[in-house]
Every structure is written in structure tokens, then in C-alpha cells.
Amino acid sequence: MNKRLKTLSPDQWNLFQKEGYIIVKGLFSEEDLCRIDDTFDEISNVTIPGYFEPDLVTASGDPLKRYPRVMHPHRFNETAKSYMLHKPVLNVLEDLYGEEALAAQSMFYYKPPGSRGQALHQDNFYLQVEPGNCIAAWTAIDPATLENGGLLVVPQTSEHDIVCPEEADSKESFTTHYVKPPKDAAAIPAIMDRGDVLFFNGNLIHGSYRNKTKDQFRRAFICHYANASATHISNHYRPLFRADGSVIDLEINPDGGPCGVEFDNVYPH
């Protein structure tokens, strides 16, 4: 049993160890969430080469052309960086790791009505944190439901080996990779309220379905972290940051790479 728990209860810690994920409430105030709202509303109307490249002119049939995901907003926006290093989130991560967490990546998904989901996958296939593992902190900025394409998780796959993905269905997934769940395992929806944070292990199989609604965005602020004792990570996620904002560079793991590549290869990350 982890003796360093400061934020999580023993039951919560045990649940993460067993299932590979846990939903924690109350880590973001409504003031925090409104700041995130405003930040990404502003970003949604501009082009930031290499990080956010929306089609602001053409009326495309694909809503993700107008609202692609924002990659690494912490590299150009101080508000995003501050919430990637949000102390209540880092406290939970320290409980889960048993040591300090290092921030490696931030993302923002708008997931507008009608947009495709992301096929089931495993994050550490891309981050390649060694030794140890990455953990994601997936914050629901809008309520996440089955109808609007909330996240799906496959419980108890956190000990499942990282596997080579198959090709996903391009009609349903905007990224190319698909990891088939092991026999007798199934994806279930992680139903979340605004402000809830889903933490999950880098081997956990997860993804999402299409946003089937006509009028609901399913926005999410998603960050990935590594344990402080890790020595290697894929180059795409360097540099990393400590809680105080100072920079740390782990050695480059030549395996891994951008966390999911889109089918049209227009906007990989």
C-alpha cells in the first residue's frame, strides 16, 4: 500500500491500481474552468502554425477541420501551462506515482457536434516513458457523455502489454491506430461532469466514439505526465516541466512518436 497518500483515499488509490483509471472530482474551481473556457475560445479563432491550424475559410464537411485539437498549448500560452502544472492535479499524480510527476504534454480537444472519435489506443505506445509509465489527466471542460463522444476505457488493461496497433476505421476515427481489447474485455463509457478529471495509466486501452449530438461540444483539456524516476521519453514530448515550471530533459527514446496521426496526415501531433 502506498504510504505517501496526501490527496487520494486508500480506496481511490487501490481502485486505480486495480482498474487502471480513476475519476476525481473537485480539482478545478468554476473560476479555473472559466479561465480555460476563455483561453480556448480565443485560440479557436486564430491560427498558430504547428500547434493549431483550423480551416477558418472553407465550409468543410468535417467539423474537425474547423476545430482540430490544439497541440502543446503550454508551449505558447501561459494559462495552458499553468493548468498543466495545476497543483491539485499534480498532488493526485504524486499519490499515484509515489514520487514527483513531470509534465510532458498538453492538448485541448473541442470535439464539435458530428465529429469523429478516436479509436482505442494506448498512450505509452507514443510517449515511451521508461522506466515507469505515463499517466494522463483528462479534464472534462464540458460534461462527457456517451452521446457527445465522451471517453471510453477498457478496465483492467493497465497491465496489458503495449501492442502494435491495427488500422482504425477512418469513418469513425480521425486517427489511424486501433488497439483491439483483449478477449473478454470491453470498453465502457467514463461519464463525467464538467471539471471532473480522469486519470489513467499509459497502458490502459481507451478511445472515444463520434459526437452524435447536433449542438454539444465535448471539450477536454488533456495532459500527460511522466514519473520523476523516468530516464527516457519520446523526443516529441521534450522538454518536460517540474511543478515549479523549471525545465527538465529526459534522454530521447528513439521508439514512439506523435500521439496519434490523423488519416489525412494534415495535422499530426
Question: CA-to-CA distance for 213 and 145, rounded, in angstroms?
Answer: 10
Residue type, 151: L
Question: CA-to-CA distance for 194 and 197, rounded, in angstroms?
Answer: 9
Rg (CA), the chain: 17
Assign 3 a pLDDT band (cuts: 50, 70, 90). Answer: low
The pLDDT value recorded for residue 1 is: 46
Q: In the predicted model, is pLDDT for residue 2 greater than 80?
A: no
Helix ranges (DSSP H) in the chain: 10-19, 30-43, 63-66, 78-84, 87-97, 124-127
Give the dihedral sign, CA 120/166/259/114. negative
pTM of the model: 0.93
Assign 6 a pLDDT band (cuts: 50, 70, 90). Answer: confident
Assign 265 a pLDDT band (cuts: 50, 70, 90). Answer: very low
Q: In the predicted model, is pLDDT for residue 260 greater than 60?
A: no
Is the Cβ–Cβ distance between 71 and 81 less than 8 Å?
no
The pLDDT value recorded for residue 266 is: 35
Q: Which three cell numbers mark 45?
A: 479563432
Query: Which range is least confidently modeled, 65-79, 91-105, 165-179, 239-253?
Result: 165-179
Domains of the chain with bracketed CATH: 13-51+61-253 (2.60.120.620)
For 77-124, how does the pLDDT look when each residue is reduced to its tens digit (9 = 90+)? 999 999 999 999 999 999 999 999 999 999 999 999 999 999 999 999
For 204-226, how does the pLDDT look when each residue is reduced to its tens digit (9 = 90+)? 999 999 999 999 999 999 999 99
Q: In the predicted model, is pLDDT for residue 262 greater than 60?
A: no
Q: In the predicted model, is pLDDT for residue 69 greater than 50?
A: yes
Question: CA-to-CA distance for 86 and 79, rounded, in angstroms?
Answer: 10
Question: CA-to-CA distance for 91 and 87, rounded, in angstroms?
Answer: 6
Is the Cβ–Cβ distance between 199 and 133 less than 8 Å?
no
Assign 259 a pLDDT band (cuts: 50, 70, 90). Answer: low
For 21-60, how does the pLDDT look when each residue is reduced to its tens digit (9 = 90+)? 999 999 999 999 999 999 999 999 999 999 999 999 887 7
Is the Cβ–Cβ distance between 200 and 138 less than 8 Å?
yes
Report DSSP state, residue 193: -
